[in-house]
Amino acid sequence: MRPMIRMFVLAAVAASATAVFASETIAVDVPFSFDAHGKAFPAGRYQVEYNPTINSLRLLSKTDTNKSFMWLALPADYTPTMARLSLLFDNEADGTRALRSIRLATWETPVLDKRERRAAQSEVSITGGR
């Protein structure tokens, strides 16, 4: 009985280790400050990572490690000619920027910036990790 229990424990450890290695992480430089859900993020280097265990995308500032945010990840259209990482921002009329969405390969966030679009707004896209 003991060898069988040991085998199940080892199988569980191996399965969880596989899930950890299946996560994907890509870094990108954002040359401007921006807001996400009312939280201010500084310009700098960011890491975006996908966690398959809880189907989430996490944005983590490498410049200010206290700044991070996590969102539910949904399946996204992706082709090999697209950048692996895409961050989409809205330019507000007052000059500020708001993070609208993140796509990491086949996973993306829902629309994060729920504000109404005004004629003065435009989009800024930052991509990385081909």
Out of 9-18, 20-29, 35-44, least confident range: 9-18
For residue range 52-84, what is the model confidence (pLDDT) as tens digits?
Answer: 999 999 999 998 888 899 999 999 999 989 999
Q: How far apart are CA 101 and CA 115, in angstroms?
A: 13
| pLDDT of residue 50 exceeding 80 | yes
What pLDDT, on the 0 to 100 scale, is given for residue 26?
Answer: 94
The closest alpha carbon to 74, from 114, 112, 20, belongs to 112
| pLDDT of residue 2 exceeding 90 | no
The model's confidence at residue 86, banded by pLDDT at 50, 70 and 90, is very high
Encoded tokens for 47 = 């890491």
